[in-house]
C-alpha cells in the first residue's frame, strides 16, 4: 500500500497543503449585527466599568462590607429570621403543590400526541368532534405559555393588588407562573416518550387513559419527578424574593433591613437564605439521585450512581414514612400561608373587580411611547447581564469540575498529599463561591449593587451578572463532568495535557449543551430584567411599580402584554439559536 506511512508522524517533505479558507459572508454579517446589538445593549444598560474603580465606589463597598460584620445574632432577631424562614418554606411548598395541581391536568390536556396528532389520532374518523378536541388542547397549551411567560414577580404584584398583601398573594403567584412552566414541561416530556409503546397499546384496543397510564407515564416518570423536584428549588428561591413585594417571609425582611441600613441583619438574613436554598437543593438533589433521573448512561456521573444504587435495596420501608411527612408538610404550609383562613367572603368579588379595572388596556400613544426607553433598557440589562454571567461562570466552572481538578487521581501518576489538598481546597472554595452567587436572588444582588454603584441599569446588570455567573458556573461544571468519558480517556492515552484534553476532548462534546444552557438562561434573565426596576435597577419594572401605586390598572395590562410579546419573541429567538448551535 502506502510506503510512506511510517514517516507520517515524523513529517513529510511533499507539499500536500490544501488551502481551504472560506470567508463566509453570512457569518461576517451575523458577527457585524451581533457587534452593533452589543454596542446598543452596552449603552442601554449604562455599563460604566470606570465606576467600579472610582474611589467613591470602593468607599461605599467598604462601608457596606464593614456594616455586614458582625452579623446580628441576637435572640430577638434570630426569632424573626426563624419565622421568616418557615414562612418562606411554607410559601414554596404550598406554591409547588398548587403548581402541580394546575400543571398536571393542563399538561396532560395539552400533550399533542394524546389529543392533536400522531398514532392515537391517525385512525380516528375526521369530523368536528376531533377538530374541537384538538383546538381545545391547543388553547390549553397557549394558556400554559401565557402563564409561564409573565414573570412570577409580576404575577405577585397583580395578586397583591387583587387579594391584598400577605402570603396568599405569593402562593397564588407561584401557583400560576410555575404551574404554567410545569404544565409546559410535562407536556414536552409526555410527548417525547417512545411512541412505539403507544402504538402497540392503541392497536390492542386500549383507551386513551390506559395508553397514558401504561405507555406514557412509565416512560415519563423519572423526568417528570426530577423536574418537579427541581421546581421546588425554583419555588423556594422565588418565594424568598416575593417577600419584596409584600408576600412576607425572608425577602420582606431583607428589604426592610436594607432600607434601615441594618447591614448586620442583612448578613444574617442572607446566610439564612443561602442555608434555605442549599437545603432545598440538597433535598431535591438527593431525591433526584435516588430516582437516578439525571445522568446519561455511560457518563462518569452515571458510574458513581451505579455504585450508589447497589446500597439502596432497603429503601421501600422508608417510603411510607416519607409520604406521611410530605402530607403533613403540605398541610402545614397551606395553613401557615393562610390559604384556608383568608378565603373570606368578598375576596372573589375583589378579584373580579380588579380584573374588570384592567380592561380595556391603555393604548394612548403618549403612554406607549414612554415605554420605549424602559423596554430597550430591559433588553440591554438582560444581554449585558448574561454576558457578565458567562464570563464569571466560565472562569469559575473550570476549578469546579471534578474531572478536571481531580483528573486521573487514582488512575495513574503519583501525586503528593500536599498537591491533592491544594486541589481539594481550590475545588471546594470555588463550589462555595458558586453556591453563594447562585443562592442570592437577583433582586437581593440588585439592592446591594445599587448601594455600591448607584441607582440605574448598571446596578441591575451587575446583579443579573452575579447571579447568572453562579448558575451558569454550576451548570457548566456539571456539563463538563458528564461528557462521555471514552474519547477523553483516548486523548489522555496519547499523552495530552489537561488543557489539551479540555480543548480537544471535553469542549467539543459539551459545546451544544453549554450553548443551550446559556441561551435558556438569557431567556430567564429577560424575565428577571423586567422586574429589577421594582428595587431601582432600571427597565420596565419601574413603570409597573409606579402605575400600580397610582392605580392605573389598565396601563398594567398594556405593560404585561408587552412583556408577554417580548418573552415570546425571546423564546423564539432562543429556540433558533439553540437549533443552530452547531454553527456558533
Residues 180-209 touching other proteins, rule: CB under 8 A, are 181, 185, 188-189
C-alpha to C-alpha distance for 280 and 278, rounded to whole angstroms: 5
Assess 411 for contact with other proteins (CB under 8 A). yes
Nearest to 521 by CA among 474, 579, 580, 583: 474
* Min CB(327)–other proteins separation in Å: 27
Assess 303 for contact with other proteins (CB under 8 A). yes
Helix (H, G, I), strand (E, B) or coil at 299: strand
Assess 6 for contact with other proteins (CB under 8 A). yes
CA dihedral 410, 415, 421, 425 (to 10 degrees): -80
* Min CB(98)–other proteins separation in Å: 20
- Answer whether 288's CB lies under 8 Å from 224's CB: no
Query: Cell for 226?
Result: 426530577
**x-marked contacts with other proteins along 447-486 as a string, rule CB under 8 A:** ----------------------------x------xxx-x
Assess 493 for contact with other proteins (CB under 8 A). yes
Nearest to 530 by CA among 520, 544, 540: 540
DSSP class per residue in 528-576: HHTTGGGGT--SHHHHHHHHHHHT-HHHHHHHHHHHHHHHHHHHHHHHH
**x-marked contacts with other proteins along 272-301 as a string, rule CB under 8 A:** ----------------------xxxxxx--
CA distances 141 to 125, 184, 186, 298, Å, are: 24, 7, 11, 35
Assess 230 for contact with other proteins (CB under 8 A). yes
Q: Pick the binder of other proteins from 371, 516, 545, 552 (CB under 8 A).
A: 516
Assess 314 for contact with other proteins (CB under 8 A). no
Stretch that binds other proteins, among 98-106, 126-134, 367-375, 496-504 (CB under 8 A): 496-504
Nearer to other proteins, 42 or 504 (CB): 504
Query: Cell for 135?
Result: 383546538
- Answer whether 183's CB lies under 8 Å from 228's CB: no
Nearest to 339 by CA among 553, 558, 172, 567: 172
* Min CB(316)–other proteins separation in Å: 18
Q: Pick the binder of other proteins from 203, 490, 565, 583 (CB under 8 A).
A: 490
Stretch that binds other proteins, among 239-247, 373-381, 506-514, 540-548 (CB under 8 A): 506-514
Assess 497 for contact with other proteins (CB under 8 A). yes
Assess 496 for contact with other proteins (CB under 8 A). yes
Nearer to other proteins, 130 or 292 (CB): 292
Assess 366 for contact with other proteins (CB under 8 A). no
Nearer to other proteins, 512 or 536 (CB): 512
Task: Describe the crossing of helices 263-290 and 55-68 by its angle, rounded to 10 degrees.
Answer: 70
Q: Please work out the total of residues on this chain that contact other proteins, with binding judged by CB under 8 A.
A: 71
Amino acid at each position: 500500500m502506502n510506503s510512506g506511512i511510517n514517516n507520517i508522524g515524523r513529517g513529510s517533505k511533499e507539499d500536500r497543503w490544501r488551502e481551504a479558507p472560506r470567508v463566509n459572508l453570512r457569518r461576517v454579517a451575523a458577527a457585524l449585527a451581533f457587534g452593533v446589538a452589543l454596542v446598543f445593549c452596552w449603552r442601554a444598560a449604562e455599563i460604566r466599568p470606570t465606576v467600579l474603580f472610582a474611589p467613591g465606589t470602593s468607599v461605599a463597598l467598604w462601608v457596606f462590607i464593614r456594616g455586614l460584620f458582625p452579623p446580628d445574632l441576637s435572640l430577638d432577631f434570630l426569632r424573626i429570621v426563624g419565622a421568616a424562614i418557615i414562612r418562606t418554606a411554607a410559601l414554596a411548598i404550598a406554591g409547588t403543590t398548587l403548581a402541580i395541581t394546575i400543571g398536571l391536568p393542563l399538561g396532560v390536556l395539552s400533550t399533542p400526541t394524546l389529543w392533536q396528532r400522531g398514532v392515537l389520532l391517525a385512525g380516528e374518523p375526521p369530523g368536528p368532534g376531533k377538530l374541537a378536541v384538538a383546538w381545545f388542547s391547543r388553547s390549553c397549551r397557549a394558556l400554559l405559555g401565557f402563564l409561564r411567560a409573565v414573570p412570577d414577580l409580576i404575577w405577585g404584584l397583580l395578586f397583591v393588588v387583587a387579594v391584598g398583601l400577605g402570603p396568599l398573594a405569593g402562593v397564588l403567584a407561584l401557583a400560576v407562573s410555575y404551574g404554567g412552566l410545569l404544565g409546559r414541561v410535562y407536556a414536552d416530556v409526555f410527548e417525547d416518550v417512545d411512541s412505539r409503546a403507544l402504538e402497540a397499546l392503541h392497536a390492542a384496543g386500549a383507551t386513551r387513559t390506559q395508553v397514558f397510564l401504561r405507555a406514557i407515564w412509565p416512560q415519563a416518570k423519572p423526568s417528570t419527578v426530577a423536574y418537579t423536584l427541581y421546581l421546588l428549588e425554583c419555588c423556594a428561591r422565588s418565594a424568598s424574593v416575593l417577600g419584596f413585594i409584600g408576600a412576607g417571609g425572608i425577602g420582606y425582611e431583607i428589604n426592610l433591613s436594607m432600607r434601615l441600613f441594618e447591614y448586620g441583619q442583612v448578613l444574617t438574613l442572607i446566610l439564612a437564605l443561602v442555608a434555605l436554598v442549599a437545603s432545598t437543593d440538597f433535598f431535591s438533589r438527593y431525591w433526584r439521585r435516588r430516582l437516578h433521573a439525571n445522568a446519561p448512561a455511560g457518563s462518569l456521573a452515571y458510574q458513581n450512581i451505579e455504585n450508589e444504587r447497589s446500597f439502596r435495596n432497603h429503601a421501600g420501608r422508608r417510603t411510607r414514612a416519607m409520604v406521611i411527612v410530605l402530607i403533613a408538610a403540605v398541610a402545614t404550609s397551606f395553613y401557615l400561608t393562610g390559604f384556608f383562613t383568608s378565603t373570606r367572603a368578598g375576596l372573589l368579588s375583589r378579584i373580579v373587580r380588579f380584573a374588570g379595572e384592567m380592561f380595556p388596556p391603555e393604548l394612548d400613544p403618549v403612554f406607549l411611547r414612554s415605554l420605549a426607553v424602559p423596554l430597550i433598557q430591559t433588553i440591554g440589562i438582560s444581554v449585558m447581564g448574561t454576558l457578565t454571567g458567562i464570563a464569571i461562570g466560565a472562569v469559575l466552572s473550570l476549578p469546579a469540575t471534578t474531572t478536571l481538578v481531580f483528573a486521573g487521581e487514582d488512575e495513574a501518576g503519583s501525586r503528593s498529599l500536599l498537591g491533592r489538598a491544594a486541589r481539594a481546597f481550590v475545588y471546594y472554595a470555588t463550589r462555595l463561591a458558586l453556591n453563594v452567587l447562585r443562592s442570592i436572588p437577583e433582586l437581593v444582588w440588585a439592592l446591594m449593587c445599587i448601594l455600591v454603584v448607584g441607582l440605574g441599569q448598571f446596578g441591575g446588570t451587575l446583579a443579573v451578572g452575579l447571579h447568572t455567573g453562579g448558575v451558569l458556573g454550576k451548570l457548566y461544571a456539571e456539563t463538563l463532568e458528564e461528557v462521555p468519558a471514552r474519547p477523553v480517556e483516548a486523548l489522555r492515552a496519547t499523552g495530552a495535557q489537561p488543557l489539551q484534553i479540555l480543548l480537544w476532548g471535553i469542549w467539543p462534546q459539551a459545546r451544544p449543551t453549554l450553548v443551550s444552557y446559556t441561551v435558556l438562561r438569557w431567556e430567564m434573565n429577560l424575565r428577571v430584567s423586567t422586574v429589577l426596576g421594582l428595587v431601582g435597577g432600571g427597565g420596565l419594572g419601574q413603570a409597573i411599580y409606579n402605575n400600580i401605586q397610582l392605580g392605573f390598572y389598565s396601563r398594567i395590562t398594556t405593560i404585561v402584554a408587552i412583556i408577554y410579546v417580548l418573552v415570546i419573541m425571546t423564546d423564539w429567538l432562543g429556540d433558533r439559536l439553540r437549533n443552530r448551535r452547531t454553527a456558533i
